[in-house]
Every structure is written in C-alpha cells, then in structure tokens.
Amino acid sequence: MKKIALLLGGIAGFLLGSYAGRGPYERVQARVRQLRGRPEVQRVADQVTESAEQLGDVASGTASKAADRASEATADAVGSIADRVTETVGHVTKGNGGSSRPLTAAGSRGLDLTSE
C-alpha cells in the first residue's frame, strides 16, 4: 500500500513539475492504462475498496454506539438533576409552611412581594 502511494505521488509530482511538454505526460498516461489492465492491480484495487467499505461500517457502528452512550449519560444526568430540583423544592415548600404559592428569592427571605 505504501509503495502504491509512493508511486502515485511520484507520478503526480512528475506530471505537475514537468516542463518537458506533452510527450512525458502521454507516456505516463499509457503506462497507467497498462497498469490498470493488469489483473493483480485490479485485485489490489478491489481489496482496497472492500477494506475501505469494512472500515466505514466499523466506524459507523462505533459512532452509533458512542452516540447511544452519550444519550444515556445525558438522560441519566438530566434525571439526576431533576431529582435534586424536586428534592430541593420539596424542602423549600416544607420551610414555607406548606404554602402552595411559588417562592421567589425575596419570598424565601421572609419578604412578602405580593401586592393585593
């Protein structure tokens, strides 16, 4: 795989850096066409494609599992916070003499802000 990448990089560098005209480009193109037609090159290309597809499937599965875990952790955290808020509100309501009116910051200090 590294050899193929090196070969492709060399060809690309030659093509991009060549000032010799169309001749070298045509020779490289002809050689690439010959290489593509070889069965071993096609086999390697098919293997690379298959491996890439498998890696994509693995990555997709891993990302899905991570998203599920994050969703569960978030739901647990929200539930925990909701439980704490409910518990806190229960304590405050008990300290309010059982009044059903909502407490404000001033109301919790014993100030009556309701206007009649």
**pLDDT at residue 11, as a whole number:** 83
**Whether the predicted model's global pTM rises above the 0.75 cut:** no
Residue 27 makes CB contacts below 8 A (sequence gap 6+) with none
Q: Is residue 113 part of a domain?
A: no
Same domain, 45 and 28: no
pLDDT exceeds cutoff 60 at 48: yes
Q: Provide CB contacts within 8 A for 57, sequence distance 6+.
A: none
Number of H helices, E strands in the chain: 4, 0
Residues 44 and 74 occupy one common structural domain: yes
Range of the domain at 48: 40-87
Q: How confident is the model at residue 107 (pLDDT cuts 50, 70, 90)?
A: very low
At 69-99, the pLDDT tens digits run: 888 888 888 888 888 888 887 766 665 555 5
Match 């010959």 to its residue by tokens. Answer: 34
